[in-house]
Structures are given as structure tokens and as C-alpha cells.
């Protein structure tokens, strides 16, 4: 991040909150914590925040009701809903209430951090049809990619995967995020499944001692870094 | 006493007695009414006849009257012939009853009569007719006879009513007592079941009546409940076992790591290994919860038309690189033009993915896995076929029963819940799920999706409601317990991960990516990959 992000965590379980706070602060964010629904609502209104992380089951005021109130009052702060209710229907309910992302508990801290990062850095211009990251260039209309002068022979799914990564340069994306966005399915795939796809893409992007573009972030996911 | 009154048997006995008494009363009333009317009619007929007979020949009227009176043995016949001025000409009536109309019809009337020289007031049934010469003939009959007959009938009724009532009550009590004895033995059995002894069964008689049928049905239900409870218990045990094994292993590894690590890297290695095991455990817990969630059928709301061909090819595409890396050919065979089926796209994809994952896992390098969609007998059939080691025919029924057969399967790769999840998804959709012989000794899993005749009408598809068997497998207690465990493990996992991460992160810049060495993607695949994968 170029600047410190101000985040608000609304979570009633102190142990969970402590871990989340520790992790996000460790990543350089400024995080405030509210433990009840009403406190959370007050804190959320007293912003500005860069993003709000809120649990669904809160004492005093249900998370989704809080979010609905907030959206009703015109507050557009990106919000990530946490919930032990991992059900797809619950997720849909969460997004309908105005959540920008939904993460079922239990989650890995890296997953939360990556999703927060994604919320903070919304892809700027999604209408762009030619993407450039370092020496990589991807023409979405023609459906081909190049690294420097070398043409990349990409399959349709690899194209989508690369597009997804190139729209988020320098940002960690988790396997689940890729599976949701590139494959458009929502369940926990076998952990190595996505890796194999990324591995294939990497073999096409990085040949013969070229600088590495896609990095594996241990325990979290992958990130595409510009090489120049 | 109130208990007796409240008792089902007593109320029935009383009810039956009251009812049969009412019926007897009705019957008697009917008989009485019919008898009295008959006797009265007969008498009226005779009286009318006599009166008219006398009227036809005024000259012989006196004779007729005398005959009528003399035929009488019980002094119940009365008659009189009166002149136009009211004087008595013949007969044993003193005077013509003043208010008796001269219409030849029979009326009940009081009159002064002479019987054996005495004057008496009698109630009489009488008919009067005016003769052509102006005199009046009256023919009468005592009412006593009929009144006595009526009284007799009523007395008989009264006498019969008491024993009837008594016998009905007795019969009712006997019947109710018998029912009560049967009920008591059933009640005792049910009480034992309620105390938790699910092996108890209700006594079934050999009469084959409704009661026996009911008892048999209840016993069938108990069989089913017992089976389900056993299964739930099996789930609980299996889950507990599955948790204890990796947790024990984890504990040992962490302990060893803490005591023996010589530098940060070694400590980190121990923690990483621990994390991998935790992930594996979490995966199992998540799978159990997910099966429960699917079986509770909360997801029917998300049903929409699904293109099975697309789902199958997307799944194949997802697994193709994995198969290729293992040297397995992944082939596709999708019949085009198949109409969509109603379902949850993501769940069907998950089911197909699980089957594909299994097929690839159990197929040796150089083998072949085929995924496809065909139309057969009104069904769209998704099949996944492999050249792996196959499943013995005797085991085929067992593979979908998770947790039970799990013991052996869970010693190998994964948690043995994959097929259980597939079965749950199939059940939710009302799909059939079978396993048959595949190519070269491998096996072939088939998901049969029934298509309605006019298969474009989405309303014809209904969400297969979960049956009891499905809904109860992961009971709320286990579910809650698992959620607790899941959260506990997750928190612990964060704590393990956090300090190490924090040691290498710069609080101002977030984490340093250059520090995380790029890892060879294949080599990095979780350590649990090596746990063995040979047997199904």
C-alpha cells in the first residue's frame, strides 16, 4: 500500500478480533475495533474508513442490519462480511445487504488480508482492453498476450487467469479468490488444483531465466509483480 | 378415581353402554308405537262395522246390539239403541253420550254404563250412527284392554332396560380392558424406548388387526431410527477419531519442533508442517459440516436451470492440467443438445469435481480418465470413468456410505468424505448415483439426472426434499461441536502463523514479497499429498 489504510473491525469475539487486529496491523494497516453492533454502527458512521470488516452475529445489532442502515444512509465504504454461516444462500444475503465481499469462518488470515487488499484497490478501469504490467501486455480483444517481443500462446482459461492477475499487479490473490473470479465457482477446491493452473501459466510467462513474474506467497496465494 | 374416568377404556365402556341403551329405547318405542296403533285400528274396524251393520237394517238393530253384547265374555262390549228423543230402547248403555258425533267413526269418550247391574263410568271407544227411523245406535268397547297392553309393553321395556344397560357396560368394560392390557404392554415398551433403549420393540399379536399393523409400523420406524442413531453415533465417533489422530500428531510435531529447533527456519518448518496438518483437519471438519448443510436442504432456493454439458466440460478443463501432470489422458464425451436440468450449478460442479479428483487420484500414470454426458432412458447421465484399480463389487454399496467404511479409506489420502459429499449432492437433486465397471478394470461413476417428459418446463422439477435419513445424519449437536472445533483450530492456526509472520514484516510496508522465496509449484504441493494414494 502506498499509504496506511484505516480499517474498522466489528467483531464480538475478542480472541478472533485480537488475531485479526494483530495480523492486519502487522501488515501496516491502522485498525480500530468495535465489539458490539451499536458500537460498530457508531464507529462506522464516525469514519472515514477505507474498509469495514464486520461479523454477522453481533450483540445488540445484527451485522447485516448494521450494514443495511449504513448503506441506507449513503455510506459506500467497502465492507467485508465475516460469518460462520458459510452457506451460499447466506453469502447472497450478505452481498444483498450491501457487503462487497463475504468470507466464511473459519478463514485463514492471509485470505482475509488479501480480500481486504482487493477491496482497497478496486481495479481502476475495467473497460480497458489492453493491459500492461511491466513487460507483459495482454490484448483482451484480440485474445493474445506478449511478454516483451515474445508471443504467449495462451488457452482461454489462462487468458482469463492472466487478466485477473494483471488487473491486480502487486496484490496477493488467494486460490479461493481466483477460483471464484476466474472459474466462477464457489467451493474450496483442492489446494493444488489452482497451483497446477498457475504453474502452467508461469511456464508460458517465464522461460529461460526471464525474471519471475508470478510469485507464490506462502500460505496465502500468488502475486504478479512487474518486472520493469 | 379421576384417573379411571379419564381412562380411555372407561370412557369407551360408558359410551358403548349409553349408546346401546339409547338404541334399545328407540327399538322399544318403535315396537310400542306399532303395536298400539295396530290394536286400536283393529278395534276401530270392528266397531265401525258393527255400527254400520246395525244401521243397515233398523228392524234388526236391537238383535245386533244384543248379539254384540252377548258375545262379550269380559264385559268390555257396550251398545245402546236410543230413540230420537234420547230414550234407551235397548243395550247396556244408560244414555247416549251427548258429545259423540253421529258419523260412524270411532271416538274415545266417557259414558255411564251398566255392568252386571252396577252403574259405572267407563272410558269407551265408541261409534254412533243415526238410523233411518230417527233412532241412534251406539256401539262401544272398553279401552282397558288396549291400555293394559300398552302398560305391559312399557313394563317389559323397563324390565329389559336394566339388564341391557348392565350387559352393555360389562361388555364395554371387557373389551376396553382387553384393549387396555394391549395398550399397557405397548405403553411399557414405548416408555423403555423413551428412556433411550432403542432396541425395544412393541409387542405384535397374531390377530393381524389394525393394532398389530400399527405396532408393526411403529417397529419399522424404530428400526429406522435405531439405524440412523447408530449412523449418527458412527459419524460422531468417526469425526472424533479423525480429529484426535491429526491433533495428536500435530501436538507431537509442535512439541518436538519447540524443543529441538536450532534456528528460526527449523521452527518455521515445524510450524508449517503443523499448519498443513491443521488445514487437512479443517478440511475434514468443513466437509462434514458441508454434507450436513447440503443434507438439510437449505440450498434448494438456489436451484436454476443448469447446462450439464457445460458443467462437465468445465470440470474436465479444471482437472486437465492435473491429469496431464500425472501422465493421465483426460478424455471428454459430451452429447450435445441436452436440455438443462434444474439444480445448483455450483454443487453439481462440486460433485463432478470430486468424482474427477478421485478418478485421477486412483488412476496410475499412463492411464485414462473419461468424463462425459450421455442421454439414456430419459436420463441425462454424467459419467466419470477411469482405468484405476476399481472397486470390488461387494464394496460398491459401501463407498457412498461415509464414515462407516471410512476407517480404511481414511488411512489413505483425504478424508473419505468426498463420495459422501457427492452422494449428498445427488440426493438433494434427486439424482441417482451408481458405480459400475469401467474400462480395464477401473470403475465408472454415473450421476443420473432424471429429465421430465416435456423437459423445458422448469416447474416440473422440484427440489428433492431431504428425507429423514439425510437430515438426521449430522445432528445439531455434532454440528455445533464441529463448528466449535473448527473455530478453535482456526484461531490456533492464526496464533501459530502470526508471530512468525510478524517477525519478518515491516510494519510500514506490509510484508516483503522478496522475502517469500518463490517455491516450485509442484514441489510445494502440500505434504499430505505423500500420505499415500494407492487404495480406495
As a whole number of angstroms, the distance between CA B285 and CA B246 comes to 12
ipTM comes to 0.80
Q: Classify strands A136-139 and A130-133 as parallel, antiparallel or unpaired.
A: antiparallel
As a whole number of angstroms, the distance between CA A53 and CA A50 comes to 10
Dihedral sign, CA of B449, B462, B288, B223?
negative
Longest dimension (CA), chain B: 156
User: Which chain B residues in 390-419 lie under 8 Å from chain A, judged by CB atoms?
Assistant: none
| B357 with A190: Cβ contact below 8 A | yes
Those residues with Cβ within 8 angstroms of residue A73's Cβ, 6 or more apart along the chain or in another chain? A45
Closest residue to B526, CB basis, from A16, A88, A192: A192
C-beta separation of B84 from B104 below 8 A: no
Return the pLDDT at B77: 83
As a whole number of angstroms, the distance between CA B385 and CA B418 comes to 16
As a whole number of angstroms, the distance between CA A210 and CA B337 comes to 46
Return the pLDDT at B395: 73
As a whole number of angstroms, the distance between CA B378 and CA B373 comes to 13
Q: Count Cα neighbours of B221 within 13 Å in the Cβ-side half-sphere.
A: 10
**E strand spans, B253-313:** 304-306
As a whole number of angstroms, the distance between CA B66 and CA B80 comes to 9
| Burial bucket for residue B245 (CB in 10 Å: 0-12, 13-18, 19+) | middle
The phi-psi region of residue B192 (left if phi > 0; otherwise alpha if psi is between -120 and 50; otherwise beta) is alpha
As a whole number of angstroms, the distance between CA B418 and CA B384 comes to 14
| Integer-rounded Cα radius of gyration of chain A | 19
Place of cell 460398491: B396
Q: B502: helix, coil or strand?
A: helix
| Burial bucket for residue B114 (CB in 10 Å: 0-12, 13-18, 19+) | middle
Return the pLDDT at B275: 83
| B513 with A87: Cβ contact below 8 A | no
| Cis peptide leading into residue A48 (ω within 30°) | yes
Q: Classify strands A214-217 and B379-386 as parallel, antiparallel or unpaired.
A: unpaired
Neighbours of B400 (CB within 10 A): 18
Neighbours of A58 (CB within 10 A): 24
Return the pLDDT at B148: 84
Enumerate the residues of chain B whose CB falls inside 8 A of the CB of residue A210.
none
pTM: 0.60
**Alpha-helical segments (H) within B208-263:** 210-260
Q: How many CB pairs under 8 A join A and B?
A: 128
| B299 with A89: Cβ contact below 8 A | yes
B326 part of contact set with chain A, CB < 8 Å: no
Q: What is the DSSP letter of B93?
A: B
Neighbours of A195 (CB within 10 A): 24
C-beta separation of A54 from A79 below 8 A: yes
Ramachandran angles phi, psi of B142, nearest 5°: -60, 145
In 3D space, the residue among B170, B226, B232 whose CA is nearest the CA of residue B198 turns out to be B226
Ramachandran angles phi, psi of B100, nearest 5°: -90, 120
| B524 with A200: Cβ contact below 8 A | no
As a whole number of angstroms, the distance between CA A131 and CA A151 comes to 15
Q: With b meaning 16 or more CB within 10 Å and e meaning fewer, what string describes B248-272?
A: eebeebbeebeeeeeeeeebbebbb
Return the pLDDT at B478: 62
Expressed in angstroms, the distance from the first to the final Cα of chain A is 19
Three cell numbers, residue B174: 371387557
Q: Classify strands A144-147 and A51-55 as parallel, antiparallel or unpaired.
A: unpaired
Return the pLDDT at A14: 85
Closest chain A residue to B273 measured between Cα atoms?
Answer: A219
**CA–CA distances in Å: residue A163 to residues A40, B217, B401:** 37, 62, 42
| A215 with B518: Cβ contact below 8 A | yes
Q: What is the DSSP letter of A80?
A: E
Q: What is the DSSP letter of A124?
A: S
B490 part of contact set with chain A, CB < 8 Å: yes
Q: Count Cα neighbours of B406 within 13 Å in the Cβ-side half-sphere.
A: 23
H/E stretch holding B58 reads none
Longest dimension (CA), chain A: 60
In 3D space, the residue among A161, A166, A159, A157 whose CA is nearest the CA of residue A132 turns out to be A166
B283 part of contact set with chain A, CB < 8 Å: yes
**The CA-based dihedral angle spanning residues A209, A213, A216, A221, taken in that order and rounded to the nearest 10 degrees:** -160
Return the pLDDT at B455: 41
Q: Classify strands B118-130 and B107-115 as parallel, antiparallel or unpaired.
A: antiparallel
Three cell numbers, residue B303: 436451484
**CA–CA distances in Å: residue B89 to residues A5, B51, B79, B93, B425:** 140, 16, 11, 10, 113
Average pLDDT by consecutive 10-residue portion of chain B (536 residues)?
59 80 84 86 87 80 82 80 80 78 82 70 83 83 82 82 82 79 84 85 81 87 84 76 81 87 87 83 78 68 81 88 88 83 85 88 87 86 84 72 47 64 84 82 84 45 39 54 67 57 41 37 39 41
Return the pLDDT at A70: 87
Mutation target to probe the A interface, by most A beta carbons within 10 A, among B479, B502, B511 is B511
Q: Which domains does chain A have, with CATH numbers?
A: 6-120 (3.40.50.2300), 130-224 (1.10.10.10)
DSSP sequence for B434-470? EEEE-GGG-EEEEEEEE--TTTT-GGG----PPPHHH
Min distance B507 CA to chain A CA atoms (Å): 5
Kindly report the CA angle at B8 between B6 and B14, in degrees rounded to 5?
Answer: 85
Per-residue pLDDT of chain A (228 residues), as tens digits, is 456 788 999 988 888 888 888 888 888 888 888 888 888 888 888 878 889 998 888 887 888 888 888 888 888 888 998 887 656 667 777 788 888 888 887 788 888 888 998 888 876 667 778 888 888 888 888 888 888 888 888 888 888 898 888 888 888 888 888 888 888 887 766 768 888 888 888 888 888 777 788 888 877 889 888 876
- The DSSP bridge partners found for residue B306 are B341
B510 part of contact set with chain A, CB < 8 Å: yes
As a whole number of angstroms, the distance between CA B169 and CA B54 comes to 58
Return the pLDDT at B407: 39
C-beta separation of B165 from B90 below 8 A: no
In 3D space, the residue among B392, B311, B294 whose CA is nearest the CA of residue B345 turns out to be B311
Amino acid at each position: 500500500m502506498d499509504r496506511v489504510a484505516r480499517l474498522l473491525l466489528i467483531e464480538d469475539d475478542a480472541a478472533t478480533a485480537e488475531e485479526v487486529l494483530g495480523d492486519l496491523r502487522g501488515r501496516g494497516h491502522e485498525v480500530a475495533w468495535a465489539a458490539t453492533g451499536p458500537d460498530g454502527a457508531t464507529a462506522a458512521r464516525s469514519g472515514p474508513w477505507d474498509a469495514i470488516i464486520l461479523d454477522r452475529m453481533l450483540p445488540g445489532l445484527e451485522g447485516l442490519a448494521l450494514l443495511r442502515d449504513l448503506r441506507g444512509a449513503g455510506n459506500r465504504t467497502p465492507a467485508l462480511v465475516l460469518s460462520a454461516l458459510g452457506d451460499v444462500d447466506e453469502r447472497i444475503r450478505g452481498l444483498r445487504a450491501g457487503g462487497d465481499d463475504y468470507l466464511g469462518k473459519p478463514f485463514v488470515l492471509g485470505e482475509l488480508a488479501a480480500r481486504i487488499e482487493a477491496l482497497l484497490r478496486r481495479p481502476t478501469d475495467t473497460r480497458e482492453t489492453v493491459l500492461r504490467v511491466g513487460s507483459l501486455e495482454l490484448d483482451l480483444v484480440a485474445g493474445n498476450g506478449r511478454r516483451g517481443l515474445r508471443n504467449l500462446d495462451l488457452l482461454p482459461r489462462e487468458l482469463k487467469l492472466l487478466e485477473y492477475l494483471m488487473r491486480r499487479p502487486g496484490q496477493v490473490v488467494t486460490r479461493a479468490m481466483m477460483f471464484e473470479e476466474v472459474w466462477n465457482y464457489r467451493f474450496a477446491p483442492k489446494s493444488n488444483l489452482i497451483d497446477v493452473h498457475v504453474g502452467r501459466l508461469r511456464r508460458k510467462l517465464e522461460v529461460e531465466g526471464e525474471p519471475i513474474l508470478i510469485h507464490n506467497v506462502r500460505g496465502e496465494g500468488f502475486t504478479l509483480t512487474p518486472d520493469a | 378415581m379421576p384417573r379411571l374416568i379419564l381412562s380411555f377404556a372407561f370412557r369407551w365402556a360408558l359410551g358403548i353402554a349409553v349408546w346401546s341403551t339409547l338404541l334399545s329405547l328407540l327399538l322399544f318405542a318403535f315396537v310400542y308405537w306399532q303395536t298400539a296403533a295396530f290394536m286400536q285400528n283393529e278395534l276401530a274396524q270392528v266397531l265401525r262395522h258393527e255400527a254400520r251393520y246395525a244401521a243397515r237394517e233398523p228392524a234388526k238393530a236391537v238383535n245386533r246390539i244384543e248379539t254384540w253384547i252377548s258375545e262379550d265374555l269380559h264385559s268390555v262390549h257396550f251398545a245402546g239403541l236410543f230413540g230420537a228423543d234420547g230414550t234407551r230402547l235397548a243395550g247396556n248403555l244408560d244414555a247416549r253420550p251427548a258429545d259423540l258425533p253421529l258419523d260412524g267413526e270411532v271416538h274415545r269418550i266417557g259414558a255411564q254404563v251398566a255392568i252386571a247391574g252396577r252403574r259405572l263410568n267407563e272410558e269407551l271407544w265408541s261409534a254412533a250412527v243415526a238410523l233411518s227411523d230417527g233412532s241412534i245406535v251406539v256401539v262401544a268397547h272398553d279401552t282397558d284392554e288396549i291400555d293394559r297392553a300398552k302398560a305391559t309393553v312399557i313394563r317389559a321395556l323397563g324390565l329389559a332396560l336394566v339388564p341391557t344397560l348392565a350387559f352393555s357396560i360389562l361388555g364395554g368394560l371387557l373389551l376396553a380392558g382387553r384393549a387396555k392390557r394391549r395398550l399397557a404392554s405397548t405403553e411399557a415398551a414405548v416408555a423403555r424406548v423413551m428412556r433411550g433403549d432403542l432396541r425395544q420393540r412393541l409387542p405384535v399379536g397374531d390377530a393381524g388387526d389394525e393394532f398389530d399393523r400399527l405396532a408393526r409400523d411403529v417397529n419399522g420406524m424404530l428400526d429406522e431410527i435405531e439405524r440412523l442413531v447408530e449412523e449418527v453415533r458412527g459419524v460422531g465417533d468417526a469425526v472424533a477419531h479423525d480429529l484426535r489422530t491429526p491433533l495428536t500428531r500435530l501436538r507431537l510435531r509442535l512439541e518436538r519442533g519447540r524443543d529441538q529447533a536450532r534456528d528460526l527456519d527449523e521452527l518455521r518448518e515445524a510450524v508449517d508442517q503443523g499448519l498443513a496438518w491443521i488445514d487437512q483437519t479443517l478440511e475434514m471438519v468443513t466437509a462434514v459440516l458441508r454434507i450436513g448443510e447440503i443434507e438439510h436442504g437449505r440450498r434448494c432456493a438456489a436451484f436454476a436451470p443448469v447446462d450439464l454439458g457445460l458443467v462437465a466440460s468445465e470440470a474436465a478443463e479444471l482437472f486437465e492440467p492435473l491429469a496431464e501432470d500425472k501422465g493421465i489422458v483426460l478424455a471428454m464425451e459430451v452429447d450435445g443438445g441436452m436440455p438443462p436440468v434444474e439444480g445448483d450449478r455450483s454443487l453439481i460442479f462440486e460433485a463432478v469435481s470430486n468424482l474427477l479428483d478421485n478418478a485421477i487420484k486412483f488412476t496410475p500414470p499412463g492411464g485414462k480418465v473419461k468424463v462425459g454426458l450421455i442421454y439414456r432412458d430419459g436420463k441425462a447421465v454424467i459419467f466419470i470413468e477411469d482405468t484405476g484399480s476399481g472397486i470390488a463389487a461387494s464394496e460398491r454399496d459401501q463407498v457412498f456410505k461415509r464414515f462407516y467404511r471410512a476407517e480404511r479409506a481414511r488411512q489413505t489420502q483425504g478424508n473419505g468424505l468426498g463420495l459422501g459429499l457427492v452422494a449428498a449432492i445427488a440426493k438433494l437433486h434427486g439424482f441417482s448415483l451408481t458405480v459400475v465397471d469401467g474400462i480395464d478394470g477401473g470403475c465408472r461413476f454415473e450421476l443420473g439426472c432424471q429429465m421430465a417428459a416435456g423437459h423445458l418446463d422448469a416447474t416440473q422439477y422440484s427440489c428433492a426434499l431431504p428425507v429423514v435419513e439425510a437430515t438426521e445424519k449430522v445432528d445439531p449437536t455434532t454440528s455445533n461441536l464441529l463448528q466449535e472445533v473448527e473455530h478453535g483450530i482456526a484461531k490456533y492456526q492464526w496464533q501459530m502463523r502470526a508471530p512468525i509472520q510478524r517477525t519478518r514484516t515491516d510494519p510500514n510496508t506490509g510484508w516483503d514479497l522478496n522475502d517469500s522465496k518463490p517455491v516450485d509449484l509442484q514441489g510445494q504441493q502440500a505434504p499430505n499429498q505423500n500420505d499415500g494414494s494407492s487404495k480406495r
